[in-house]
Structure 1
Amino acid sequence: MQLLNYMQLYVEVAKTKNFRKAAESLGMSSSTLSRNIAALEKDIGVRLLHRSTRRVELTEAGQAYFNRCQGIVEEANVAHEALRGDAARPSGTLRISMPVDLGINYLAPLLAEFAVAYPLIDFELEAASRRVDLLADPFDLAIRMGPAPTAPSTLVARRIALLERQLYAAPAYLDRAPPLEHPDDLIHHALCAAPGIGQDGWTLFNGAASRTVPVKARFLMNSVGLSRALAAEGAGIAILDSVIAREELAAGRLLRVLPQWRLAPVAVHAITDTRLLSARTRLFVDFLKARLAPRNSPG
C-alpha cells in the first residue's frame, strides 16, 4: 500500500512538474510531498527528478517510471472507487475548466442541477479563455468549444454537444445598414467574430445549399458575450447560438438576420488526460451529454 501511495504522489508531481501544484492537488504540504518523493527515490535507488528553484524535470529513469506508474495508479483509483460504492454515491472534488460564456449561459444551471443530484461532490471551477494544460494543471476535465485537440496524443476528447450558430443584429443597425437579403450582401456589413472564424470567409448553409462569402470581420474578440453585447449596441452582425441570443432576442434588442441561413454548428468537447475516469468525472460527462445534446443539436 505504501508503494502505491508513493506512485500516486510521484505521478502527480511528474504530471505537473511542480511540487506546489502537485501538493495542492493532493491536499498536502509541499515539504511533506518532497520528503515522500525523496523516500521513494531512496527506496528504489534511482534519481527520478532533477530539482531546481524554478522547475522540476524528469530524469530518463523518472520518465520511464512515470510511464509505467500512471496506468497503475489510474487503474487502482477506479478499482478503489468501485469497491467503495462511489459509482452509486460519488464524492470528492471535481475540478473543471470551461470558457466563460459557455459556463454562464449553459453550464451554470446544469452544475446546480448536478450538485443537487450528487450532494457529496464539491467543485473547483475555472472560467477562462485560456486553454489549460491538463497534463500540468490539476483539472479533472476541460470543457472546450471547437475541434477536438490533436496534441498531445494522450488527451481524450468526448463530444457532448453541437451548438447551432446563426446571425443576429440590432434593429437600429439594420435600419441604417445596406440591404441584407442574401449571404453575398454580408461583404457590405460590419461583422463581429472570434479570431480564426472564417479566415477564408464565412460559409453559410440553407438545407443542402451552401455559400462561402469572402468577408472580413471588423470586430475580432475572444468572447461570445462581448460579440453579443456589441451586436445589441448596433455595432454590427454577430455569430451567436439561440441560447446566447435568447434574452436580447426576447427583448427586441437583437433580430435574427438571413433566417434561412446558418453557419456550421460548433462542437463542444469534454477533454481529459486519460480514458480512465473517476466515478464523479464520468457521471458529470454523461450528465452534460444527456442534457446538452438534445437541447442544442441543430435541427
Structure 2
Amino acid sequence: MELLNDMALFVEVVKARSFRGAAETLGIPNSTLSRRIGLLEKEIGLRLLHRTTRRIEPTEAGQIYFERSKRIVEEARLAHEHLGEMLAQPSGLLRVSLPVDFANTYLAPLITEFAQRYPDITFEFDLTPRRVDLVTEPFDLAIRVGESEPSHLIARPLARLSANLYASPAYLERCGEPKEPADLSRHQCLRMMKTTTWTLHHGTRTEVVDIDGRFSLNSVGMIRRLATLDMGIIFMPEEIVSEDLADGRLRRILPGWHSAPSTIYAITETRLLPAKTQRFIEFLRERLSRS
C-alpha cells in the first residue's frame, strides 16, 4: 500500500513538473514529498527525475515508470470507487452446514431466492446430522437451531421460532381433539427419540405433559410426514408445516399453547467474514425475521 501511495505521489510530481506545485495539489509539505520520492528512487534502484532549480523532468526510466504508475494508480482508484458494487455482487464458493430437516422444509425456498439474487456465488451444503468443526473443516458457517456453541465460536442470532401442536383432520376425527394439554397423554404423539415430555406455555401458564406413542424418530421430516398420514400429533414450528397447513393436511390444535422460543444461529469461526458469507447471514436474518 505504501508503494502504491508513493507511485501516486510520483505521478503528481511529473504532472506538475515541480515538487512545490504537486505538494500544493496534494496538500502535503514540499519537504515530505521530496523525501518520499527520494526513498522511492532508492527502493527501485533507478533515477526517476532530473532536478533543476526551475523545473523537474522525468528521466527515460522515469517516463516509463510514470506511464505504468499512472495506469496502476488509476486502476486502484476505479477499484476503490466500485468497491461497494463489488461487495454488493459477491462471488465464490459458499460452504454451509445446515440442519437436515429445517433446510429441506424451510430454508430451501430462501436459499433459492438468495441464489437468484447473487448469481456469482456457488454453494456447497452439508446436510448430514453430524456437528461439523468450523475450525478444522473448510466451512464458512453453520446454521443451528437452539444449540449452544463453544465460546471460541461466534454465534449470530437470526430469528426465534416457537413450536405449536398439529394433527391431521382424519386423526382428530378418529381419536378426538385434545381440549387441554393433559389430554395429550392419551394420544399418539409423534416425537423425537428420547423425548418423553412436552413443555407448553400459554401466557403465564406452563404445563409439562408426559407423552407417549408408537413412533419416536430422529427426523423432523419423517415426523411431519407421519402426521399428514394420520398417525398422530406433532409439536413443531409453523414454518416447518406451513405447506401442510395451507393444503389442509394438518391443522393446529390447542391454539394458544406453544413451546418456549428456540433461537436460530449462524455460527462462524471468526468475526471477519468475506462478502459472500456476510450477505448470506444478512439475507437469512432479514427473511427469517418476517416469519
TM-score by length of 1: 0.64
State the shift of 1:113 in Å.
2.0
> Which residue, 231, 235, 238 being the options, matches 1:242?
238
* Structure with max Cα Rg: 2
Kept after mapping to 1: 8 A contact 2:187/2:212: no
State the shift of 1:115 in Å.
2.0
Matches of 1:117 and 1:254 in 2, distance apart?
33
- Residue 124 of structure 1 aligns to a residue in which SS? strand
Over 3 Å counting, the alpha-carbon distance change for 1:116 and 1:171 in structure 2 is closer
Counterparts of 1:185-264 in structure 2, within 5 Å, are 185-195=183-193, 197=195, 199=196, 201-216=197-212, 218-264=214-260
Kept after mapping to 2: 8 A contact 1:148/1:269: no
- Residue 291 of structure 1 aligns to a residue in which SS? helix
Alpha-carbon displacement from aligned partner over 1:195-223 (angstroms, at most 9, x marks no partner): 355x5x21111122221113345422222
Matches of 1:169 and 1:84 in 2, distance apart?
54
Aligned residues: 211
- Residue 203 of structure 1 aligns to a residue in which SS? strand
- Residue 263 of structure 1 aligns to a residue in which SS? coil
State the shift of 1:289 in Å.
0.3
Tell me what 2:9 maps to.
Answer: none
Matches of 1:273 and 1:84 in 2, distance apart?
29
TM-score by length of 2: 0.66
Matches of 2:114 and 2:233 in 1, distance apart?
35
Over 3 Å counting, the alpha-carbon distance change for 1:186 and 1:225 in structure 2 is same
Over 3 Å counting, the alpha-carbon distance change for 1:187 and 1:290 in structure 2 is same
RMSD of equivalent CA atoms:
2.3
- Residue 230 of structure 1 aligns to a residue in which SS? helix
Tell me what 2:91 maps to.
Answer: 91
Over 3 Å counting, the alpha-carbon distance change for 1:134 and 1:174 in structure 2 is same
Over 3 Å counting, the alpha-carbon distance change for 1:126 and 1:84 in structure 2 is farther
State the shift of 1:280 in Å.
1.2
Counterpart AA for 1:132: V
Tell me what 1:116 maps to.
Answer: 116
Does residue 1:168 correspond to 2:166, yes or no?
yes
State the shift of 1:178 in Å.
5.3
Tell me what 1:289 maps to.
Answer: 285
Counterpart AA for 1:293: S
Over 3 Å counting, the alpha-carbon distance change for 1:214 and 1:82 in structure 2 is farther
Matches of 2:236 and 2:186 in 1, distance apart?
20
Over 3 Å counting, the alpha-carbon distance change for 1:82 and 1:270 in structure 2 is farther
Counterparts of 1:149-164 in structure 2, within 5 Å, are 149=149, 151=150, 153-164=151-162
State the shift of 1:90 in Å.
1.7
Matches of 1:103 and 1:268 in 2, distance apart?
12
Alpha-carbon displacement from aligned partner over 1:92-131 (angstroms, at most 9, x marks no partner): 1111111222222322222222222222221111222222
State the shift of 1:83 in Å.
10
Counterpart AA for 2:140: D
Matches of 2:117 and 2:247 in 1, distance apart?
33
Counterparts of 1:257-272 in structure 2, within 5 Å, are 257-272=253-268
Counterpart AA for 2:102: L
Counterpart AA for 2:250: L
Counterparts of 1:95-106 in structure 2, within 5 Å, are 95-106=95-106
Counterpart AA for 2:174: R
Alpha-carbon displacement from aligned partner over 1:60-79 (angstroms, at most 9, x marks no partner): xxxxxxxxxxxxxxxxxxxx
